[in-house]
Amino acid sequence: MRDDTTMTAWHEWQESPWGRLRYTLAETNLAKHLDGLDDGPLRILDLGGGDGADTVRLAERGHHVTIVDNAPEMLAAATRRAVGADVTERVTLIEADVTELPHDIADGRYDLVLCHNLLQYLDDTAAALARAVTALRPGGVLSVMAVNRHATPLNIAVRQADPTAALAALDTDRTRTVTFDTTMTLHTAEELGEILDRLGCPVTGHYGIRTICDYITDDERKHDPAFFADLERLELALTGRHPYMHTARLFQLIGRKHPG
């Protein structure tokens, strides 16, 4: 259940410069991996798709997207977003827990499955990724975004200027979210990559989402359109570059399920 305050905080985050960067970077990275899938509209599953920010961008490109999310308020917001973009006929909303996917969703029919900023709220990462891969057709593409454990100590040291707290954060995979006021799990690209390998969906792309933005302490500056345009250009240049992706606030992994 998301109350009005949480939904307002979520929308404010999405509209913030750092929220907008997250969606632009993810969409740009994903586009590099869709060649070779069907030429026509793709069948896409957006697990924990929330209020449809990724979904509606994909539906606007002609694809058919199904969101599974267990928060009715998020799905109501997704409906409003789809109506606003005039893509309701290409968007399906299913209120369900991703740990208990309906059989017709888990049946290996999707060309692309998104699992963006969901894993941090689930208890069993490997089981969640296994369900995502099972929903993919052979040769299908998986996009996973998660909060980067490597970035947390750096972020605390730079943003809070608190070396002691940063030191403590080195060896924990738990933190609290501000927006949803809950505890969440931090991951690394290395550990998720190993799981995806075991699931027969090896990583074909590794990107950092916000490699620089979160280490700039002057948030006011990020609202200046000229500064933001420069920052966005820099983030787009760094998202796939070593070593920057390893300390980005979030990471995005693209996997490709074995063809048969």
Binding site for ligand SAM (CB under 6 A): 48-50, 53-54, 69-71, 74, 97-99, 116-118, 121-122
**Nearest to ligand SAM of 127, 161 (CB atom):** 127
* Nearest distance, CB of residue 176 and ligand SAM, angstroms: 14
Q: Among 192, 251, 176, which Cα is nearest to 22's?
A: 251
**Nearest to ligand SAM of 61, 157 (CB atom):** 61
What are 32-40's contacts with CB under 8 Å, separation 24+? Answer: 32/205, 33/141, 33/143, 33/204, 33/205, 33/254, 33/256, 34/112, 34/141, 37/111, 37/112, 37/139, 37/140, 37/141, 38/111
* Nearest distance, CB of residue 210 and ligand SAM, angstroms: 13
* Nearest distance, CB of residue 19 and ligand SAM, angstroms: 9
**Nearest to ligand SAM of 85, 158 (CB atom):** 85
**Nearest to ligand SAM of 20, 159 (CB atom):** 20
* Nearest distance, CB of residue 161 and ligand SAM, angstroms: 27
CA angle 218/246/158 to nearest 5° reads 30
* Nearest distance, CB of residue 189 and ligand SAM, angstroms: 17
**Nearest to ligand SAM of 42, 128 (CB atom):** 128
* Nearest distance, CB of residue 112 and ligand SAM, angstroms: 14
Residue at shortest CB range from ligand SAM: 50
Residue 202 class from Cβ within 10 Å (0-12 exposed, 13-18 middle, 19+ buried)?
middle
**Nearest to ligand SAM of 6, 158 (CB atom):** 6
